Amino acid sequence: MILLRHGQSEFNLHFAKNRVDPGIEDPRLTPLGHEQAESAAEALSRETIRCIIASPYTRALQTAAPLARRLGLPVHVQPLVRERFAFACDVGSPAPDLAEAWPEHDFSGVDPVWWPDREEPAESILERARHFRTTMRDRPDWPHTVVVSHWGFILSMTGQSVMNGQWVRCDPREDGPAEVNWHHG
């Protein structure tokens, strides 16, 4: 499968300047983030993609949109692939609000409040990644799946730090990292 990190968000733009949380909840993509999403969609449209899974954060849904449009595929919303809850940007939008903003997606399996209420321990996101890896391993379409996710989740799946709009291939039949370095990239 391909793990695609969302494009640059308003949070990423401000956080990169001084490494201080700017306090932006569920940030949207910046103009650069939209360009990164379009570039990723163009490149990934050459792959044999049959399934798109995305985190419920707005930045991930916005990143998935151009690829879904190009390929004519639905986006399957999956909170399991969300970011590690550690900053204001990791406060999401309630599922009913997302369903209203994204009527083409099915949010019926997403709890109204699907993010934690306090910082998530590193072991928790590693466990989510292991669970997702096991779930994907059993799916015959995993080689043809793009997962639009986040820095921390991709790091937990692969041990690799990817930049906004970049992606990495991941074989769910292989073991993921036992631990990760949480210094944000």
In a domain, 159, yes or no: yes
Per-residue pLDDT, 184: 54
pLDDT band at 55 (very low <50, low <70, confident <90, very high): very high
Per-residue pLDDT, 83: 97
In a domain, 50, yes or no: yes
Q: How many domains would you assign to the chain?
A: 1
- Picking from 141, 47, 54, 147, the residue whose alpha carbon sits closest to that of residue 105 is 54
Residue 163: give the domain boundaries.
2-169
pTM: 0.95
**Would you say residue 183 has pLDDT above 80?**
no
Q: What is the mean pLDDT of the chain?
A: 94
Residues forming a β-bridge with 168: 3
In a domain, 119, yes or no: yes
Comparing 73 with 184, which gets the higher pLDDT? 73
Distance CA 50, CA 104 (A): 17
In a domain, 176, yes or no: no
In tens, the pLDDT along 92-139 reads 999 999 999 999 998 988 999 999 999 999 899 999 999 999 999 999
pLDDT band at 172 (very low <50, low <70, confident <90, very high): very high
- Picking from 75, 72, 43, 38, the residue whose alpha carbon sits closest to that of residue 57 is 75
In a domain, 126, yes or no: yes
In a domain, 175, yes or no: no
In a domain, 185, yes or no: no
CATH number at residue 150: 3.40.50.1240
In a domain, 112, yes or no: yes
Distance CA 166, CA 36 (A): 8
**Would you say residue 59 has pLDDT above 70?**
yes
Per-residue pLDDT, 101: 95
For residue 153, how many other CB atoms are within 10 A of its CB?
24
